[in-house]
Amino acid sequence: MGQMKWLLILVPVGAVVGFLILYFTGPHATTISTLPPTPISTNQEINHNTPTQPDSSKSVSIPAPISTNAEIPTPAPTLVPAPTPKPISTPKPTASTNGTQYLVFGIPADVYDPGKDVHGNLDKLVTSLINRFDTTGDAKHRLGFMIVLPVWFADSRIGGNQGHVEKIIKEAFAVAKERNVAVYFTLYSFTRWPAQMWNWYDASQPGYSLENKKNVEWTDWSGTPTKNRYSLQEGETRMTPVMCYNSSKVLSEISHITSKILGPAILRGTADLKSAGKEDLFGGITLSEELSLDDYSGIDKLNPTLGAMMTTDGALKTRLGYCALTNLGYSKDKPPADYPAALAKVNQDYATYWGKQLVQAGIPKAKLYTHVAPALDAAYLQYTNAPTDTAFNEYSNPGWTTYLAGPLANGLDVLYKALADNGNPTWGSTESSPTNITGTSVKPETFLAWHYNHGANLIVMNAADGSAGGQGIGKSIWSSASVAAYQKFLSGAQLQE
Protein backbone atom coordinates (compact mmCIF):
# COMPACT_ATOMS: atom_id res chain seq x y z
CA MET A 1 0.00 0.00 0.00
CA GLY A 2 1.34 3.42 -0.88
CA GLN A 3 2.36 5.53 2.05
CA MET A 4 0.18 8.54 2.77
CA LYS A 5 1.76 11.94 3.15
CA TRP A 6 0.25 13.95 5.95
CA LEU A 7 0.76 17.54 6.93
CA LEU A 8 2.22 17.49 10.41
CA ILE A 9 0.47 19.12 13.28
CA LEU A 10 2.48 18.66 16.35
CA VAL A 11 1.11 19.05 18.68
CA PRO A 12 0.47 17.45 16.47
CA VAL A 13 -1.18 16.46 17.77
CA GLY A 14 -1.68 18.86 14.47
CA ALA A 15 -0.75 22.14 12.89
CA VAL A 16 -0.28 25.72 13.76
CA VAL A 17 -2.92 26.68 16.22
CA GLY A 18 -6.21 28.31 15.52
CA PHE A 19 -5.48 31.72 16.85
CA LEU A 20 -2.56 32.03 14.47
CA ILE A 21 -5.01 31.73 11.62
CA LEU A 22 -6.92 34.67 12.96
CA TYR A 23 -3.86 36.85 12.82
CA PHE A 24 -2.37 35.52 9.62
CA THR A 25 -5.52 34.10 7.98
CA GLY A 26 -3.47 31.25 6.63
CA PRO A 27 -3.54 27.57 7.52
CA HIS A 28 -2.00 26.14 10.64
CA ALA A 29 1.58 25.30 10.03
CA THR A 30 1.12 21.67 10.13
CA THR A 31 0.07 18.28 14.16
CA ILE A 32 0.07 18.17 12.53
CA SER A 33 0.08 18.84 5.62
CA THR A 34 -2.53 18.51 3.52
CA LEU A 35 -4.63 15.55 4.58
CA PRO A 36 -6.58 13.40 2.23
CA PRO A 37 -10.16 13.08 3.39
CA THR A 38 -9.36 9.67 4.86
CA PRO A 39 -6.44 8.54 6.99
CA ILE A 40 -5.96 5.33 4.99
CA SER A 41 -3.51 5.56 2.12
CA THR A 42 -4.81 4.69 -1.35
CA ASN A 43 -4.05 5.54 -4.94
CA GLN A 44 -7.56 6.72 -5.69
CA GLU A 45 -8.34 10.22 -6.85
CA ILE A 46 -9.98 12.29 -4.15
CA ASN A 47 -13.52 13.41 -4.84
CA HIS A 48 -13.97 16.73 -3.07
CA ASN A 49 -17.48 15.83 -2.03
CA THR A 50 -16.87 12.23 -1.11
CA PRO A 51 -14.05 11.24 1.26
CA THR A 52 -11.89 8.49 -0.18
CA GLN A 53 -12.09 5.23 1.73
CA PRO A 54 -9.65 2.40 2.29
CA ASP A 55 -9.27 -0.43 -0.17
CA SER A 56 -10.11 -3.50 1.87
CA SER A 57 -8.33 -5.74 -0.62
CA LYS A 58 -4.98 -4.42 0.51
CA SER A 59 -3.07 -4.89 3.74
CA VAL A 60 -3.83 -2.31 6.38
CA SER A 61 -1.17 0.29 7.06
CA ILE A 62 -1.33 2.64 10.00
CA PRO A 63 -1.86 6.16 8.66
CA ALA A 64 1.31 8.18 9.07
CA PRO A 65 0.46 11.38 10.90
CA ILE A 66 3.69 13.10 9.99
CA SER A 67 5.18 14.44 6.79
CA THR A 68 8.38 16.37 6.48
CA ASN A 69 7.84 17.22 2.83
CA ALA A 70 4.35 18.69 2.85
CA GLU A 71 3.88 22.28 1.85
CA ILE A 72 1.13 24.67 2.80
CA PRO A 73 0.22 27.93 1.13
CA THR A 74 1.85 31.14 2.23
CA PRO A 75 -0.52 32.88 4.66
CA ALA A 76 -2.81 35.40 3.02
CA PRO A 77 -3.03 39.02 4.20
CA THR A 78 -4.61 39.27 7.60
CA LEU A 79 -8.33 39.69 7.91
CA VAL A 80 -8.19 40.34 11.62
CA PRO A 81 -5.30 42.61 12.61
CA ALA A 82 -2.75 41.28 15.03
CA PRO A 83 -2.62 43.11 18.34
CA THR A 84 0.05 45.76 18.61
CA PRO A 85 2.94 44.28 20.60
CA LYS A 86 3.08 45.71 24.10
CA PRO A 87 5.98 45.91 26.51
CA ILE A 88 6.54 42.61 28.26
CA SER A 89 6.10 42.70 32.00
CA THR A 90 7.80 40.04 34.06
CA PRO A 91 5.14 38.13 35.99
CA LYS A 92 6.00 36.58 39.29
CA PRO A 93 5.70 32.82 39.64
CA THR A 94 2.15 31.84 40.46
CA ALA A 95 2.65 28.18 41.19
CA SER A 96 5.32 25.67 42.07
CA THR A 97 5.74 22.28 40.46
CA ASN A 98 6.39 18.89 41.94
CA GLY A 99 7.86 15.88 40.21
CA THR A 100 9.68 15.77 36.90
CA GLN A 101 9.43 18.56 34.34
CA TYR A 102 9.65 17.50 30.69
CA LEU A 103 11.02 19.31 27.65
CA VAL A 104 9.68 17.28 24.73
CA PHE A 105 10.36 17.57 20.99
CA GLY A 106 8.16 16.08 18.31
CA ILE A 107 10.05 13.83 15.90
CA PRO A 108 8.98 12.88 12.34
CA ALA A 109 9.09 9.18 13.06
CA ASP A 110 8.77 6.92 10.00
CA VAL A 111 7.12 4.12 11.96
CA TYR A 112 3.52 3.87 10.76
CA ASP A 113 4.03 1.39 7.92
CA PRO A 114 4.28 -2.21 9.21
CA GLY A 115 7.22 -2.75 6.87
CA LYS A 116 9.35 -0.10 8.54
CA ASP A 117 12.12 -0.63 11.09
CA VAL A 118 10.28 0.96 13.99
CA HIS A 119 13.05 0.67 16.57
CA GLY A 120 15.81 1.70 14.19
CA ASN A 121 13.95 4.73 12.85
CA LEU A 122 13.03 5.93 16.32
CA ASP A 123 16.52 5.38 17.68
CA LYS A 124 18.14 7.32 14.84
CA LEU A 125 15.97 10.39 15.43
CA VAL A 126 16.21 10.22 19.21
CA THR A 127 19.99 9.91 19.08
CA SER A 128 20.13 12.96 16.84
CA LEU A 129 17.96 14.87 19.32
CA ILE A 130 20.18 13.96 22.25
CA ASN A 131 23.30 14.99 20.34
CA ARG A 132 21.96 18.54 20.03
CA PHE A 133 22.24 18.99 23.79
CA ASP A 134 24.84 16.45 24.97
CA THR A 135 22.52 15.69 27.89
CA THR A 136 19.15 14.14 28.63
CA GLY A 137 18.72 16.03 31.88
CA ASP A 138 18.24 14.62 35.35
CA ALA A 139 15.45 13.05 37.39
CA LYS A 140 13.72 16.43 37.79
CA HIS A 141 14.36 17.85 34.31
CA ARG A 142 13.97 15.42 31.43
CA LEU A 143 14.56 15.69 27.71
CA GLY A 144 11.89 13.80 25.79
CA PHE A 145 10.64 12.87 22.33
CA MET A 146 7.04 12.79 21.15
CA ILE A 147 5.36 10.62 18.54
CA VAL A 148 1.76 10.62 17.41
CA LEU A 149 -0.50 7.60 17.92
CA PRO A 150 -3.43 7.25 15.45
CA VAL A 151 -5.36 5.36 18.10
CA TRP A 152 -8.54 4.78 16.07
CA PHE A 153 -6.47 2.54 13.80
CA ALA A 154 -5.43 0.34 16.71
CA ASP A 155 -8.67 -1.66 16.60
CA SER A 156 -8.42 -4.53 14.11
CA ARG A 157 -12.19 -5.03 14.33
CA ILE A 158 -12.74 -1.79 12.41
CA GLY A 159 -9.94 -1.97 9.89
CA GLY A 160 -6.99 -1.14 12.13
CA ASN A 161 -3.77 -2.93 12.97
CA GLN A 162 -3.60 -3.54 16.70
CA GLY A 163 -0.33 -5.41 16.58
CA HIS A 164 1.52 -2.62 14.82
CA VAL A 165 0.26 0.13 17.13
CA GLU A 166 1.33 -2.00 20.09
CA LYS A 167 4.73 -2.44 18.44
CA ILE A 168 5.16 1.32 18.00
CA ILE A 169 4.43 1.85 21.69
CA LYS A 170 6.73 -0.99 22.77
CA GLU A 171 9.67 0.22 20.68
CA ALA A 172 9.18 3.83 21.78
CA PHE A 173 9.52 2.74 25.40
CA ALA A 174 12.52 0.58 24.52
CA VAL A 175 14.34 3.49 22.88
CA ALA A 176 13.50 5.70 25.85
CA LYS A 177 15.03 3.19 28.26
CA GLU A 178 18.12 2.58 26.13
CA ARG A 179 18.84 6.27 25.54
CA ASN A 180 17.74 7.52 28.97
CA VAL A 181 15.30 9.98 27.41
CA ALA A 182 11.59 10.44 28.10
CA VAL A 183 8.89 9.18 25.73
CA TYR A 184 5.66 11.09 25.16
CA PHE A 185 2.59 10.32 23.04
CA THR A 186 -0.04 12.52 21.38
CA LEU A 187 -3.32 10.83 20.48
CA TYR A 188 -5.12 11.61 17.25
CA SER A 189 -8.46 10.94 18.88
CA PHE A 190 -11.00 12.63 16.60
CA THR A 191 -9.71 13.79 13.19
CA ARG A 192 -8.34 10.48 11.95
CA TRP A 193 -10.80 7.62 12.25
CA PRO A 194 -11.77 4.66 10.05
CA ALA A 195 -14.50 4.57 7.42
CA GLN A 196 -16.11 1.73 9.36
CA MET A 197 -17.21 4.43 11.79
CA TRP A 198 -18.19 7.30 9.44
CA ASN A 199 -19.14 5.96 5.98
CA TRP A 200 -22.91 6.40 5.95
CA TYR A 201 -23.33 7.41 2.30
CA ASP A 202 -21.26 5.30 -0.15
CA ALA A 203 -22.26 1.65 -0.41
CA SER A 204 -19.49 1.00 -2.94
CA GLN A 205 -16.79 1.70 -0.36
CA PRO A 206 -15.62 -0.24 2.72
CA GLY A 207 -17.25 0.47 6.03
CA TYR A 208 -20.62 1.51 4.62
CA SER A 209 -23.53 1.44 7.04
CA LEU A 210 -26.48 3.75 7.45
CA GLU A 211 -25.98 3.33 11.19
CA ASN A 212 -22.85 5.46 10.84
CA LYS A 213 -25.11 8.51 10.60
CA LYS A 214 -25.23 8.25 14.37
CA ASN A 215 -21.44 8.63 14.62
CA VAL A 216 -21.02 11.85 12.60
CA GLU A 217 -22.25 15.34 13.36
CA TRP A 218 -25.48 16.79 12.01
CA THR A 219 -26.32 20.17 10.55
CA ASP A 220 -29.82 20.34 12.05
CA TRP A 221 -32.26 18.80 14.51
CA SER A 222 -33.59 16.54 11.73
CA GLY A 223 -30.35 14.56 11.76
CA THR A 224 -28.81 15.63 8.43
CA PRO A 225 -25.30 14.10 8.60
CA THR A 226 -22.08 15.67 7.34
CA LYS A 227 -19.57 14.23 4.88
CA ASN A 228 -16.50 16.36 5.65
CA ARG A 229 -14.69 18.34 8.29
CA TYR A 230 -13.31 21.67 7.03
CA SER A 231 -10.33 22.20 9.25
CA LEU A 232 -8.54 25.44 10.06
CA GLN A 233 -6.26 23.67 12.51
CA GLU A 234 -4.94 21.21 9.96
CA GLY A 235 -4.05 23.62 7.20
CA GLU A 236 -7.30 24.71 5.52
CA THR A 237 -8.10 21.16 4.53
CA ARG A 238 -11.03 18.85 3.89
CA MET A 239 -11.09 15.81 6.16
CA THR A 240 -13.32 12.94 7.24
CA PRO A 241 -16.60 13.99 8.88
CA VAL A 242 -16.76 15.70 12.24
CA MET A 243 -17.28 13.01 14.85
CA CYS A 244 -20.36 12.93 17.06
CA TYR A 245 -18.32 12.91 20.24
CA ASN A 246 -20.91 11.28 22.49
CA SER A 247 -22.28 8.70 20.06
CA SER A 248 -22.76 5.42 21.91
CA LYS A 249 -20.68 3.61 19.26
CA VAL A 250 -17.88 6.18 19.53
CA LEU A 251 -17.79 5.92 23.32
CA SER A 252 -17.87 2.14 23.18
CA GLU A 253 -14.92 2.08 20.79
CA ILE A 254 -12.93 4.47 22.98
CA SER A 255 -13.55 2.19 25.95
CA HIS A 256 -12.32 -0.81 23.95
CA ILE A 257 -9.23 0.97 22.61
CA THR A 258 -8.19 2.29 26.02
CA SER A 259 -8.95 -0.83 28.08
CA LYS A 260 -7.84 -3.54 25.65
CA ILE A 261 -5.10 -1.95 23.54
CA LEU A 262 -3.68 1.44 24.50
CA GLY A 263 -3.84 1.16 28.28
CA PRO A 264 -2.24 -2.30 28.51
CA ALA A 265 0.49 -1.36 26.00
CA ILE A 266 1.38 1.79 27.95
CA LEU A 267 1.38 -0.11 31.25
CA ARG A 268 3.72 -2.75 29.83
CA GLY A 269 6.07 0.02 28.78
CA THR A 270 5.98 1.79 32.13
CA ALA A 271 6.49 -1.50 33.96
CA ASP A 272 9.61 -2.14 31.90
CA LEU A 273 10.91 1.33 32.74
CA LYS A 274 10.14 0.80 36.43
CA SER A 275 12.04 -2.49 36.49
CA ALA A 276 15.08 -0.58 35.25
CA GLY A 277 14.63 2.20 37.81
CA LYS A 278 13.62 4.64 35.07
CA GLU A 279 9.91 5.12 35.67
CA ASP A 280 10.23 8.89 35.22
CA LEU A 281 11.06 8.36 31.53
CA PHE A 282 7.35 8.12 30.74
CA GLY A 283 6.48 11.75 30.05
CA GLY A 284 2.77 11.29 29.44
CA ILE A 285 -0.01 11.54 26.87
CA THR A 286 -1.84 14.37 25.15
CA LEU A 287 -5.44 13.20 24.84
CA SER A 288 -6.33 14.81 21.51
CA GLU A 289 -5.68 17.29 18.78
CA GLU A 290 -6.85 20.83 19.58
CA LEU A 291 -10.45 20.41 20.70
CA SER A 292 -13.01 21.64 18.17
CA LEU A 293 -16.71 21.10 17.47
CA ASP A 294 -16.95 23.10 14.29
CA ASP A 295 -19.37 25.90 13.50
CA TYR A 296 -19.12 26.98 9.86
CA SER A 297 -21.68 29.78 9.94
CA GLY A 298 -18.94 32.43 9.98
CA ILE A 299 -16.40 30.61 7.83
CA ASP A 300 -16.51 33.01 4.86
CA LYS A 301 -15.16 35.85 7.00
CA LEU A 302 -12.99 33.73 9.26
CA ASN A 303 -11.24 31.91 6.43
CA PRO A 304 -12.27 32.63 2.82
CA THR A 305 -10.26 29.67 1.51
CA LEU A 306 -12.31 27.17 3.50
CA GLY A 307 -15.45 29.13 2.73
CA ALA A 308 -14.79 28.81 -0.99
CA MET A 309 -14.02 25.11 -0.58
CA MET A 310 -17.35 24.57 1.15
CA THR A 311 -19.15 26.50 -1.57
CA THR A 312 -17.54 24.29 -4.23
CA ASP A 313 -18.55 21.18 -2.29
CA GLY A 314 -22.08 22.40 -1.72
CA ALA A 315 -21.53 21.99 2.02
CA LEU A 316 -23.89 23.79 4.36
CA LYS A 317 -22.20 26.61 6.27
CA THR A 318 -23.87 26.17 9.61
CA ARG A 319 -23.34 25.17 13.20
CA LEU A 320 -22.67 21.49 13.89
CA GLY A 321 -23.28 19.63 17.14
CA TYR A 322 -26.91 18.62 16.77
CA CYS A 323 -26.08 14.91 17.05
CA ALA A 324 -24.26 15.40 20.35
CA LEU A 325 -26.97 17.75 21.64
CA THR A 326 -29.68 15.25 20.71
CA ASN A 327 -27.83 12.57 22.66
CA LEU A 328 -27.88 14.92 25.65
CA GLY A 329 -31.66 15.24 25.51
CA TYR A 330 -31.98 18.50 23.59
CA SER A 331 -34.29 18.88 20.60
CA LYS A 332 -35.84 21.44 18.26
CA ASP A 333 -38.56 21.99 20.83
CA LYS A 334 -36.13 21.91 23.74
CA PRO A 335 -32.88 23.56 22.55
CA PRO A 336 -30.04 24.57 24.84
CA ALA A 337 -30.39 28.04 26.32
CA ASP A 338 -26.78 28.76 25.36
CA TYR A 339 -25.56 26.87 22.29
CA PRO A 340 -21.85 27.81 22.63
CA ALA A 341 -21.79 26.77 26.29
CA ALA A 342 -23.52 23.48 25.51
CA LEU A 343 -21.13 22.70 22.65
CA ALA A 344 -18.11 23.69 24.74
CA LYS A 345 -19.28 21.17 27.33
CA VAL A 346 -19.45 18.50 24.60
CA ASN A 347 -15.83 19.27 23.69
CA GLN A 348 -14.78 19.19 27.32
CA ASP A 349 -16.66 15.97 28.01
CA TYR A 350 -14.96 14.24 25.07
CA ALA A 351 -11.49 14.91 26.48
CA THR A 352 -12.78 14.00 29.93
CA TYR A 353 -14.01 10.64 28.65
CA TRP A 354 -10.63 9.76 27.17
CA GLY A 355 -8.96 10.78 30.41
CA LYS A 356 -11.37 8.78 32.53
CA GLN A 357 -10.97 5.65 30.41
CA LEU A 358 -7.18 5.85 30.57
CA VAL A 359 -7.22 6.44 34.33
CA GLN A 360 -9.48 3.41 34.71
CA ALA A 361 -7.00 1.47 32.56
CA GLY A 362 -4.27 2.33 35.07
CA ILE A 363 -2.60 5.43 33.60
CA PRO A 364 -2.11 8.10 36.31
CA LYS A 365 -3.95 11.39 35.89
CA ALA A 366 -0.61 13.16 36.39
CA LYS A 367 0.53 11.79 33.02
CA LEU A 368 -2.49 12.97 31.01
CA TYR A 369 -2.96 16.37 29.34
CA THR A 370 -5.73 18.02 27.36
CA HIS A 371 -5.11 20.20 24.27
CA VAL A 372 -6.88 23.51 23.69
CA ALA A 373 -5.90 26.51 21.57
CA PRO A 374 -6.40 29.58 23.78
CA ALA A 375 -8.50 32.20 22.00
CA LEU A 376 -10.40 35.33 22.90
CA ASP A 377 -11.51 36.25 19.39
CA ALA A 378 -15.25 35.70 19.04
CA ALA A 379 -15.02 34.41 15.47
CA TYR A 380 -12.53 31.67 16.30
CA LEU A 381 -14.34 30.68 19.48
CA GLN A 382 -17.52 30.39 17.45
CA TYR A 383 -15.70 28.04 15.07
CA THR A 384 -14.15 25.75 17.71
CA ASN A 385 -16.54 26.03 20.65
CA ALA A 386 -13.47 25.38 22.80
CA PRO A 387 -12.81 28.27 25.20
CA THR A 388 -9.74 28.19 27.42
CA ASP A 389 -11.55 26.54 30.33
CA THR A 390 -12.44 23.44 28.30
CA ALA A 391 -8.89 22.29 29.10
CA PHE A 392 -9.90 21.47 32.68
CA ASN A 393 -11.34 18.17 33.84
CA GLU A 394 -10.98 15.84 36.80
CA TYR A 395 -9.10 13.09 34.95
CA SER A 396 -6.21 14.99 33.36
CA ASN A 397 -4.02 18.06 33.58
CA PRO A 398 -4.95 21.13 31.53
CA GLY A 399 -2.90 21.57 28.38
CA TRP A 400 -2.81 24.39 25.85
CA THR A 401 -1.06 25.42 22.67
CA THR A 402 1.29 28.24 23.70
CA TYR A 403 2.66 29.96 20.62
CA LEU A 404 3.27 33.67 21.28
CA ALA A 405 0.29 34.87 19.26
CA GLY A 406 -3.31 35.87 19.75
CA PRO A 407 -4.13 36.21 23.46
CA LEU A 408 -0.63 34.94 24.32
CA ALA A 409 1.24 37.45 22.14
CA ASN A 410 2.53 39.34 25.18
CA GLY A 411 2.66 36.61 27.79
CA LEU A 412 0.70 33.78 29.35
CA ASP A 413 -1.45 35.84 31.74
CA VAL A 414 -4.63 34.43 30.18
CA LEU A 415 -3.52 30.96 31.21
CA TYR A 416 -2.30 32.03 34.64
CA LYS A 417 -5.73 33.49 35.36
CA ALA A 418 -7.51 30.35 34.20
CA LEU A 419 -5.18 28.25 36.33
CA ALA A 420 -5.71 30.45 39.39
CA ASP A 421 -9.47 30.25 38.91
CA ASN A 422 -9.16 26.45 38.97
CA GLY A 423 -6.85 26.05 41.95
CA ASN A 424 -3.48 26.31 40.15
CA PRO A 425 -3.17 22.67 39.06
CA THR A 426 -0.12 21.29 37.29
CA TRP A 427 -0.41 22.05 33.58
CA GLY A 428 1.40 21.65 30.29
CA SER A 429 2.03 23.21 26.92
CA THR A 430 0.94 20.50 24.53
CA GLU A 431 2.11 22.35 21.40
CA SER A 432 4.60 25.20 21.31
CA SER A 433 7.66 26.98 19.94
CA PRO A 434 9.78 29.88 21.25
CA THR A 435 9.46 31.62 17.87
CA ASN A 436 8.39 35.26 18.23
CA ILE A 437 5.51 34.94 15.79
CA THR A 438 3.91 38.36 16.20
CA GLY A 439 7.09 40.34 16.72
CA THR A 440 7.00 40.16 20.50
CA SER A 441 10.60 40.09 21.73
CA VAL A 442 11.00 37.28 24.25
CA LYS A 443 14.22 35.46 25.06
CA PRO A 444 13.98 31.65 24.82
CA GLU A 445 14.93 31.32 28.48
CA THR A 446 12.14 33.71 29.43
CA PHE A 447 9.74 31.71 27.27
CA LEU A 448 10.64 28.51 29.11
CA ALA A 449 10.41 30.27 32.48
CA TRP A 450 6.90 31.50 31.71
CA HIS A 451 5.98 27.82 31.69
CA TYR A 452 8.22 25.99 34.13
CA ASN A 453 8.28 28.77 36.75
CA HIS A 454 4.48 28.88 36.75
CA GLY A 455 3.40 25.33 37.46
CA ALA A 456 3.99 23.65 34.09
CA ASN A 457 5.52 20.19 34.03
CA LEU A 458 5.55 19.93 30.25
CA ILE A 459 6.39 21.72 27.02
CA VAL A 460 5.97 19.86 23.72
CA MET A 461 7.88 21.65 20.97
CA ASN A 462 6.49 21.49 17.42
CA ALA A 463 9.85 20.45 16.03
CA ALA A 464 8.93 17.83 13.45
CA ASP A 465 6.99 19.83 10.88
CA GLY A 466 9.05 20.29 7.74
CA SER A 467 6.38 22.19 5.79
CA ALA A 468 6.83 25.84 4.87
CA GLY A 469 4.38 26.93 7.54
CA GLY A 470 5.92 24.61 10.07
CA GLN A 471 9.36 26.00 9.38
CA GLY A 472 8.02 29.48 10.06
CA ILE A 473 6.45 28.45 13.34
CA GLY A 474 9.51 26.52 14.45
CA LYS A 475 12.27 28.68 13.01
CA SER A 476 13.60 29.59 16.46
CA ILE A 477 13.40 26.13 17.99
CA TRP A 478 17.01 25.31 17.16
CA SER A 479 18.56 28.78 17.43
CA SER A 480 21.72 29.00 19.52
CA ALA A 481 19.86 31.01 22.17
CA SER A 482 17.09 28.41 22.31
CA VAL A 483 19.51 25.49 22.61
CA ALA A 484 21.36 27.31 25.39
CA ALA A 485 18.06 27.83 27.23
CA TYR A 486 17.16 24.15 26.85
CA GLN A 487 20.55 23.12 28.19
CA LYS A 488 20.16 25.44 31.16
CA PHE A 489 16.76 23.92 31.95
CA LEU A 490 18.09 20.37 31.61
CA SER A 491 20.98 21.22 33.93
CA GLY A 492 18.54 22.10 36.68
CA ALA A 493 19.60 25.75 36.88
CA GLN A 494 16.95 28.33 37.77
CA LEU A 495 15.39 29.89 34.69
CA GLN A 496 15.24 33.68 34.67
CA GLU A 497 12.25 35.67 33.46
Q: DSSP string of 32-75?
A: --PPPSSSS--SSPPBTTB-----TTS---PPP---SS---PPP
Convert the pLDDT of each residue in 96-122 to its tens digit. Answer: 456 899 999 999 989 999 999 999 999
Q: Is residue 414 part of a domain?
A: yes
CATH code (residue 406): 3.20.20
Query: Sorting pLDDT into bands at 50, 70 and 90, what band is 490?
Result: very high
Q: Is residue 1 domain-resident?
A: no
Average pLDDT of span 74-83: 31
State the residue range of the domain holding 328: 18-491
Query: How far is 83 from 86, CA to CA, in rounded Å?
Result: 9
Percentage of the residues of the chain whose pLDDT score is greater than 90: 72
* Burial class for 441, CB neighbours closer than 10 Å (0-12, 13-18, 19+): exposed
Which carries the bigger pLDDT value, residue 192 or residue 53? 192
In a domain, 116, yes or no: yes
- Confidence check: pLDDT of 326 > 50: yes
Q: Which tops the pLDDT comparison, 43 or 255? A: 255
Q: How many structural domains does the chain have?
A: 1
DSSP string, 281-297: GEEEEE-SSS----B-T
Q: Dump pLDDT digits (tens) for 258-267.
A: 999 999 999 9
- Stated length of the chain: 497
pLDDT band at 19 (very low <50, low <70, confident <90, very high): very low
| Residue 321, domain member (yes or no) | yes
What's the pTM value of the predicted model, to 2 decimals?
A: 0.85
- 471: confidence class by pLDDT, cuts 50, 70, 90: low
Q: What pLDDT does residue 56 have?
A: 36
Q: Residue 93 — very low, low, confident or very high, per pLDDT cuts 50/70/90?
A: very low
What number of other Cβ atoms are within 10 A of residue 410's Cβ?
18
Mean of the per-residue pLDDT values of the chain: 84
Report the distance separating Cα 368 and Cα 375, nearest Å.
Answer: 22
Sorting pLDDT into bands at 50, 70 and 90, what band is 76?
Answer: very low
pLDDT beyond 50 at 7: no
Residue 484 resides in a domain: yes
Q: Is 4 within the bounds of a domain? A: no
Is 11 contained in some domain?
no
Q: Report yes or no on 496 lying in a domain.
A: no
Q: Are 478 and 22 in contact (CB under 8 A)?
A: no
pLDDT in tens, 183-219: 999 999 999 999 999 999 999 999 999 999 999 999 9
pLDDT digits over 359-375, tens only? 999 999 999 999 999 98
Query: What integer pLDDT is reported at residue 94 of this predicted model?
Result: 44
The pLDDT of residue 469 is 58
